[in-house]
Amino acid sequence: MFGCKGLRTGKKYFAIWWEGRLVLKLPAAQLSEVVGAGVGEVFEPMAGRPMNGWVIVDPSTDWPVLAADAQAYVESQQR
């Protein structure tokens, strides 16, 4: 995805490593929570063009938990 290394479940990515930063696919409510808490920002690979459901995670967060949530979310979308 975007020529980046990433993690996927089935054929869908739930995490990518983009420009030295972790980017996760999260449900809208959780994404808003992460951004609202100041530990993430909406992923815009091109300025002004946000990717729906994707968030850049601050390295200070408990990202393993968020990554597991991202994986579970993407898996639930494939059923």
Please name the residue that has the structure tokens 């808003």: 32
Residues 52-67 pLDDT 10s: 999 999 998 889 999 9
Contacts of 58 (CB under 8 A, 6+ apart): 38, 39, 40
Length reported for the chain: 79
Domain boundaries, the chain: 5-77
Q: Give the torsion through C-alpha atoms of 22, 28, 32, 35, to 10 deg.
A: 10
Q: How confident is the model at residue 15 (pLDDT cuts 50, 70, 90)?
A: very high
Q: Which helix (H) or strand (E) holds 29?
A: helix 28-36
Provide the whole-model pTM: 0.91
